[in-house]
Amino acid sequence: MICFPNAKINLGLQVARRRGDGFHNLRSVFYPVPLYDVLEFKKADKFSLRVWGLPSSAIEHNIVTKVWEVLSARFDLSPVEVYLLKNIPMGSGLGGGSADAMFFMREVLSFFQIEVNEKALIKMALELGSDCPFFLFNKPSYVIGRGNVVEPLEINLSGYYLLLVFPDEPVSTADAFGRIVPKPPEYNLKKLVLKKDFNAWRKQLVNDFESVLPPHLLHIKADLYEAGALYVSLTGSGSAFYGIFNRKPELFAYKNGKVAMVAL
């Protein structure tokens, strides 16, 4: 079995409050992006995971290994060996690990012909990460709470281009949440995104994690606007920025990281 887990970007991200369980209530629009990892597995004598490409977590801590532990604790599964090619940078805010996890989970359940209802799938997904439930559906969505509420949205950015800038400084999600100060939302994020008014987005649509990003990374935002972007934002807790363009942008050199372009 082979699948192609894709990245996502956040169109706005509000950190509303810290919950009693230690997690945070968030509000954001998640949008799938055609930047892909490659994941393949087949039956084997014992579970194993091999990773190529960009840096990734140690095998024993890799989220794909955790998925196998969650599933094998619930179901009688024959072992598999997994091959993962990483193209989505770790610590970038693009959700690559969460995508790997959910694509692997869905493919394993399908391969072994195990039926699980949506509520149980979301519960398992939340054991693995707050971004994971979104990737069970993998379509533009308004995501709130701990990530457990995923509401599909009619927002279409087809025909636009993304320029992605990946600094050579990954951001730890745990560290970012440790630094951020939750605050009540100052605008209706869902309504603002649905307007699809890039001028309004530029003035008001904010990712709260930009406030705790190392200041020397914020120049990336200005660089993308200077390159002609209609809207620029940090994605997730960082450290990647994206710019939305209405024409195919030229790649520019960034000495402290990498730049990539994808068509939406």
Please determine, for residue 229, whether its predicted confidence score (pLDDT) is greater than 90.
Answer: yes
SS3 content of the chain, % helix, strand, coil (to 5): 30, 30, 40
Contact predicate 194/153, CB 8 Å:
yes
pLDDT tens-digit map of 34-92: 999 999 999 999 999 999 999 999 999 999 999 999 999 999 999 999 999 999 999 99
* Domain boundaries of the chain, sorted by first residue: 2-152, 161-263
Strand order from edge to edge, sheet including 149-152: 6-18, 24-36, 141-145, 149-152
Can you read off the two tokens belonging to residue 232? 């620029």
Residues with catalytic function: 8, 131
CATH topology of 2-152 equal to that of 161-263? no
Sequence-separated (6 or more) residues with CB below 8 Å from residue 129: 63, 97, 98, 101, 147
Give me the phi and psi of 180, to 5 degrees please.
Answer: -80, 145
Please determine, for residue 20, whether its predicted confidence score (pLDDT) is greater than 80.
Answer: no
DSSP labels for 108-163?
HHHHTT----HHHHHHHHHHH-TTHHHHHH-SSEEEEETTTEEEE-----TT-EEE
- What percent of the chain is modeled with pLDDT above 90? 89
CATH number of 161-263: 3.30.70.890
pLDDT tens-digit map of 175-224: 888 899 999 999 999 999 999 999 999 999 999 999 999 888 999 999 99
Q: What CATH class is the domain 2-152?
A: alpha beta
d(CA 140, CA 262): 17
- Amino acid letter at 188? N
